[in-house]
Amino acid sequence: MLHNLKSTGLLAYCRKGFEKECLQELQQVAGQYLVYGYSRIQDQQGWVYWQVSQGNANKLYADLRSDQMVFVRQLYLVIGEVEAESAKDRVSPVVEALQNCGSRFGYLRIEAPGDDEQGSLRGLSKKLVAPMSSAMKAAGLLTAKKDSRLPVCFVTCLTGQHFLVAAGAKPAMSHFEEGIPRLRFDPEAPSRSALKIEEAFMVMLEPYEKAFVLKRGQRGVDLGAAPGGWTWYMVSQGLRMTAVDHGALAPSLMQDADVAYVASDGFVYKPPKPVDWVVCDIVDKPTRTLERMADWLVHGWTRYALFNLKLPMKSRFDAVEACLQKLQQKLESAEVEAEVRVKQLYHDREEVTVIVLTAPFPDKSNVS
């Protein structure tokens, strides 16, 4: 879709404070395609503009999927960087940058990833949509009505007069705005952690994959379950759960017929019978969590696992890599065929979420 676009590099959004890890991830994956570049990053900006100096960024972009990257939550192909000379006219320099870029667009989105929810750049991005759309339509760059067969044009506000102009298309582009699903907290959930597990199933699995692996009537175990947000979510999906924690669950869950509470150590508990899911939200050393999850998978105590890995203060990218290598080694030496996905979710702070699915895998052609 974007192979004729004149691009200068990639724009990735990430959690604020994880720009370095986001850049490391981009560089690692691009190196496999012999694409090289550079970036000046600042801490806490929430995005990385990686300028390509050698190789084909478009080809790389066509092969990437932001939903399968760890620190990258949204990904676009950059057309140009624009500094408006005056706050009175921000529209024409952007339209000028888009002229001759080699693409028409089916939709325009203006974003401010580095800004807080109520920030002034967010306000500006909203105000710019109408005049920018009109000018792009007048220049033949934007279709009159939304057309999802064409790429999306993104204007990213870095400051009030400094913009990155970019294009996005699936599968590299997440269909969630800025790569963040907007979830509504259900007041019946015992903790806000319920949003995290909901996000994991929404962002890390395609809907057909979720339908294949998460089904009514399954059984699951939640390690480190209290007060019970994850258990509550799994029960809401039709599972019967065993919740393991030294601390008590919310009273509503203690009385729930689909929940069995076990006051025990999550690193010692072993299910009497194999289950479909183990989920684990215990805050501990990542290697300890990983070893225990590997035990569950290798011994066949579960078919699927979802857990968090707490990140160290330094070398966070390397720490994730090391954990994943260790997990892969354990699974391979036990001849367990598995698909491993890792992502730093919007609801994750200093941690990443891991999903492991053992074979048989969801197959899109079998979707009913």
Cα 203 to Cα 197: distance, rounded to the nearest angstrom: 10
Q: Which stretch binds ligand SAM (CB under 6 A): 140-148, 160-168, 265-273, 336-344?
A: 265-273
User: Is the CB of 214 or the CB of 244 nearer to ligand SAM?
Assistant: 244
Q: Which stretch binds ligand SAM (CB under 6 A): 165-173, 189-197, 331-339, 340-348?
A: 189-197
- Asked whether position 244 contacts ligand SAM by CB under 6 A, the answer is yes
SS3 241: strand
| Binder among 228, 296, 303, 319 for ligand SAM (CB under 6 A) | 228
Cα 19 to Cα 42: distance, rounded to the nearest angstrom: 7
| Binder among 226, 239, 354, 356 for ligand SAM (CB under 6 A) | 226
Q: Which helix (H) or strand (E) is 57 found in, with range?
A: helix 57-63
- Asked whether position 92 contacts ligand SAM by CB under 6 A, the answer is no
User: Is the CB of 128 or the CB of 194 nearer to ligand SAM?
Assistant: 194
- Asked whether position 283 contacts ligand SAM by CB under 6 A, the answer is yes
User: Which two tokens mark 107?
Assistant: 């939709």
- Asked whether position 191 contacts ligand SAM by CB under 6 A, the answer is yes
- Asked whether position 251 contacts ligand SAM by CB under 6 A, the answer is no
Decide: residue 79, CB within 10 A, 0-12 exposed, 13-18 middle, 19+ buried.
buried
CB of 179 to ligand SAM, least distance (A): 23
| Binder among 8, 24, 133, 193 for ligand SAM (CB under 6 A) | 193
- Asked whether position 22 contacts ligand SAM by CB under 6 A, the answer is no
Cα 242 to Cα 364: distance, rounded to the nearest angstrom: 31
User: Is the CB of 37 or the CB of 220 nearer to ligand SAM?
Assistant: 220
Task: List the strands of the sheet with 219-223, edge to edge.
Answer: 259-262, 240-244, 219-223, 275-280, 302-310, 351-358, 338-343
- Asked whether position 247 contacts ligand SAM by CB under 6 A, the answer is yes
- Asked whether position 281 contacts ligand SAM by CB under 6 A, the answer is yes
User: Is the CB of 52 or the CB of 311 nearer to ligand SAM?
Assistant: 311
- Asked whether position 46 contacts ligand SAM by CB under 6 A, the answer is no
Cα 208 to Cα 217: distance, rounded to the nearest angstrom: 18
Within its chain, how far is the Cα of 52 from the centroid? 23
CB of 305 to ligand SAM, least distance (A): 14
Within its chain, how far is the Cα of 61 from the centroid? 17
In the chain the first and final C-alpha atoms are separated, in Å, by: 29
User: Is the CB of 30 or the CB of 194 nearer to ligand SAM?
Assistant: 194
Task: Point out the catalytic residue in the list 20, 137, 170, 310.
Answer: 310
- Please report, for residues 72, 186, 265, the alpha-carbon distance to residue 228 in angstroms, rounded to integers and kept in the order given: 29, 13, 16
Cα 253 to Cα 315: distance, rounded to the nearest angstrom: 39
User: Is the CB of 151 or the CB of 228 nearer to ligand SAM?
Assistant: 228
| Binder among 37, 114, 220, 227 for ligand SAM (CB under 6 A) | 227
Kindly report the backbone phi and psi dihedral angles of residue 111, in degrees, each rounded to the nearest multiple of 5, phi listed first. -130, 165
Q: Which stretch binds ligand SAM (CB under 6 A): 34-42, 52-60, 264-272, 326-334?
A: 264-272
Q: Which stretch binds ligand SAM (CB under 6 A): 21-29, 66-74, 276-284, 322-330?
A: 276-284
Decide: residue 50, CB within 10 A, 0-12 exposed, 13-18 middle, 19+ buried.
buried
- Asked if 66 and 59 count as a contact pair (C-beta separation under 8 A), the reply is no
- Asked whether position 288 contacts ligand SAM by CB under 6 A, the answer is no
- Does 310 qualify as catalytic in the annotation? yes
Q: Report the catalytic residues.
A: 310
Binding site for ligand SAM (CB under 6 A): 190-191, 193-194, 224-230, 244-247, 265-267, 281-283
